[in-house]
A = this chain, B = another copy of it.
Amino acid sequence: MKELEERIVRDGKVFQGEVLKVDSFLNHQIDPMLLEQMGKEWHRLFKGERVDKVLTIEASGIAMAAFVAKEFGVPLLFAKKNKTSNISDNVYVTDVESFTHGRTYKVQVSKEYLHAGERVLIIDDFLATGNALIGLINLCKQAGAEVVGLGCSVEKDFQNGGRMLRDMGYRVECLARIKSMDPVAGIEFVH
């Protein structure tokens, strides 16, 4: 998506170790006009599918997923990161390994809001290792819900998450796919 790529080039910051900061417009401060456009783009990409629900994970996926859900006219469900060891019987829960924070955490959704047979579009901000998305897929599997596809704003194409998910048979639509990035040489996109 051209507008997103241009914005990443203009306002993103690349650091050593293949770190991209987009927190001026995507995941701390948020540009709602850009996110609404992104919602329309995912709708364009997936509108041939029946989508009953959009699923994301707190916190930085929520705003973009809300605009996607609005385009489809369906509810948004966000998985919560569990802060306690108390797991209620009324939730689906899975482990997610965090690359950024170097630890494993639990994410959960209430069983009341994810059902067998529902067709779910999963949205998240970054796709690198794919671990968070695998966690969301696991929650859908536990519920017997069907994953229509996966949408991420930014894919780090040089990591393996996207390839792994596509090899598993999932449709993955990322609005900006980064081939390489470097503080000096800049960012190159996959087209």
A: residues with CB less than 8 A from B are: 23-25, 28-33, 35-36, 58-59, 62-63, 66-67, 69-70, 73, 75-78, 80, 109-110, 112-113
Contacts and interface: CB of A to CB of B under 8 A. Distances in A.
A69 B33 CA distance: 9
Nearest to A109: B28
Contacts of A25: 75
B75 A28 contact: no
Given A62-B62, A110-B23, A77 B33 contact: no
A25 to B, nearest CB: 8
30 contacts: A23-B110, A24-B113, A28-B77, A28-B78, A28-B109, A28-B110, A29-B110, A29-B112, A30-B69, A30-B77, A30-B78, A32-B66, A32-B67, A32-B69, A32-B70, A32-B75, A35-B66, A35-B70, A58-B58, A59-B59, A59-B62, A59-B78, A59-B80, A62-B62, A62-B63, A62-B66, A63-B63, A63-B66, A63-B76, A66-B67
